[in-house]
Copies of this chain bind each other. A is one copy, B any other.
């Protein structure tokens, strides 16, 4: 491993000078500069980012915590954040938050130990209290998909309630009145808010089922749904995975979508375009949100000043993507 010292020696200058040309911190004579540069090339010198961060007390890593990268939703989120880190010459530290509060905390702690002062975290298990204490401790921490009122300038979140309303309005517009909600059973706000938004727009008695927000959960819910099929013309699923699970189980039983029953999903995940029929769904603009969160964190923590013109709206609105899983109900 070649260091500044080696370069300095070969170029016949001090390490400070080498540092100056590496950092482009002006004020270096053209000639010395080229001497140093050629020495760097000869030795195949690569600055040690770790040492640099330590000495300058500036951090070149951005930490991301998500519950699970194997879930395509978070894969998408991670990918978007990575695009920002690449643009800003930062490195991405990935920490997995997992299923419980403790491992979410550990994920953050390990980022702190790495001296990481800019981070975006997706946490659903940690309480507002512990999360708030981290927010206080780490000025560069930005929350995604979560809203804590005292820190709203550091939260990027989705208007879930509005999403629920959009779904209801669309189904009503299509002539549906008897609807089943297939919701997530996880104890987080999102399903409750979507339900609330939906029911505000369609207060008549709807059927309601809960399961895990996965394909299997969707199948499970469909099994219960089947008993009420005569009273239901459409279903609003918590997410596309569940929607696809419902479709799959239904079609196994010979019930066709959208001919026999309509269905609307949420997320616009990979699934949505790939399934049969293609899914009408509510777009969750996670790409934009993730980029916004990363940029926000970078700008708050002072790691980057170039991108100062960030969106002023921190609350994102889902919007309808019409495909063909919903039919007109006369």
Contacts and interface: CB of A to CB of B under 8 A. Distances in A.
Q: What class of interface size applies to chain A in its complex with B?
A: 35 or more
Contact of A78 (B48, B94, B113): B94
Interface stretch (A171-179, A272-280, A314-322): A272-280
A215 interface: yes
Contacts of A46: 109, 112-113
A218 B312 CA distance: 41
Describe A's contact surface by its main secondary structure. helix
A53 B78 CA distance: 26
Interface in A80-114: 80, 82, 86, 91-96, 109-114
B53 A82 contact: no
A44 to B, nearest CB: 9
A304 interface: no
A313 B47 CA distance: 38
Contact of A69 (B47, B49, B82, B91): B82
B79 A113 contact: no
Contact of A115 (B49, B69, B110, B244): B49
Interface in A210-259: 215, 241, 244-245, 247-248, 251
Contact of A75 (B54, B71, B244, B274): B71
A276 B244 CA distance: 10
Contact of A114 (B50, B71, B112): B50
Given A47-B113, A48-B113, A113-B47, A75 B70 contact: yes
A75 B79 CA distance: 10
A215 B274 contact: yes
A72 B270 contact: yes
A59 to B, nearest CB: 9
Contacts of A71: 75
A114 B275 CA distance: 42
Given A91-B110, A271-B274, A273-B215, A79 B72 contact: no
Contacts of A248: 274, 276
Q: Which 7 A-B residue pairings sit nearest by Cβ, starting from the closest?
A: A75-B75, A70-B79, A49-B113, A50-B115, A92-B94, A94-B94, A70-B76
